Amino acid sequence: MTVVELPSEKAAARIALAVASFGTVSTQTLTAIRIKEFYDMVDEAVGAAKAAR
């Protein structure tokens, strides 16, 4: 497993394609978000769920 941080999803795709050109490879790209943004999304979702009740 290799974990990299790149400036964009397009950069990650370019690297994955370059590595794949050497032979059989399996890749998976996951976009990370900052923990503060994640907590903000959780707060929004919880607030929306409470409002829907």
Which residue, among 40, 25, 33, has the nearest Cα to 5 in the 3D structure? 33
Rounded-to-integer distance, Cα 6 and Cα 30, Å: 11
pLDDT digit string, tens, across residues 1-53: 778 888 988 998 898 889 889 888 787 777 888 999 999 999 999 988 889 88
Residue 12: CB atoms within 10 Å: 17
pTM over 0.85: no
